[in-house]
A = this chain, B = another copy of it.
Amino acid sequence: MRVRLEDVADLAKGAALLGAGGGGDPYVGALMLRQALAEKGSVQLIDVNELPDHVLAVPFASMGAPTVAVEKIPNGEDFTAALRALERRLNRRAEAILCCEIGGINALLPLILGARLGLPVVDGDGMGRAFPELQMVTYNMFGVPAAPMAMADEHSNIVMVEAPAAQEVERLGRHVVVAMGGSAQICLYAMSGADAKRSMIRGTLSLALGLGQVIRTAKSADNGPHQAVLEYLRSTPYYQHCRSLFEGKCSDILRETRAGWSVGRAAIEGFGRYSGRTLEIQFQNEHLIAREGAQIRAVVPDLITVVDAATAEPITVEGLKYGQRVCVLGISAAPIMRSAEALAVWGPKVFGFDVPFTPVEVLNPE
Let me know if A160 and B160 touch, CB within 8 A.
yes
Let me know if A155 and B176 touch, CB within 8 A.
no
Let me know if A155 and B180 touch, CB within 8 A.
no
Let me know if B156 and A172 touch, CB within 8 A.
no
Residues of B within 8 A of A175 (CB): 175-176, 178-179
Residues of B within 8 A of A352 (CB): none
Check A46 for interface membership: any CB of B closer than 8 A. Answer: no
Let me know if A162 and B172 touch, CB within 8 A.
no
Check A5 for interface membership: any CB of B closer than 8 A. Answer: no
* Chain B residue at minimal CB-CB distance from A152: B162
Other-chain residue from B157, B160, B162, B172 in contact with A179 (beta carbon distance below 8 A): B172
Total copies of the chain: 2
Let me know if A172 and B157 touch, CB within 8 A.
yes
Let me know if A159 and B157 touch, CB within 8 A.
no
Check A258 for interface membership: any CB of B closer than 8 A. Answer: no
Check A161 for interface membership: any CB of B closer than 8 A. Answer: yes
Let me know if A163 and B168 touch, CB within 8 A.
no
Q: Which of A1-52 contact B (CB under 8 A)?
A: none
Residues of B within 8 A of A176 (CB): 159, 172, 175-176, 179
Q: Which of A140-184 contact B (CB under 8 A)?
A: 155-164, 168, 171-172, 174-176, 178-180
Min CB gap A185→B, angstroms: 14
* Chain B residue at minimal CB-CB distance from A161: B159
Min CB gap A133→B, angstroms: 14
Which interface residue of A89, A172, A178 has the most chain B CB atoms within 10 A? A172
If the complex has contacts A175-B176, A175-B179, are A164 and B156 also in contact, measured as CB distance less than 8 A? yes
Min CB gap A356→B, angstroms: 32
Residues of B within 8 A of A158 (CB): 160-163
For A271-285 the 0/1 string (1 means CB < 8 A from B) is 000000000000000
Residues of B within 8 A of A180 (CB): 172
Min CB gap A334→B, angstroms: 31
What are 6 A-to-B residue pairs whose CB atoms are below 8 Å?
Answer: A157-B163, A158-B161, A158-B162, A159-B159, A160-B160, A172-B180
Given contacts A157-B163, A158-B163, A175-B179, 19 further A-B contacts (CB under 8 A): A85-B162, A89-B89, A155-B163, A155-B164, A157-B161, A157-B162, A157-B164, A157-B172, A158-B160, A158-B162, A159-B159, A159-B160, A159-B162, A159-B172, A159-B176, A160-B160, A160-B162, A172-B180, A174-B179
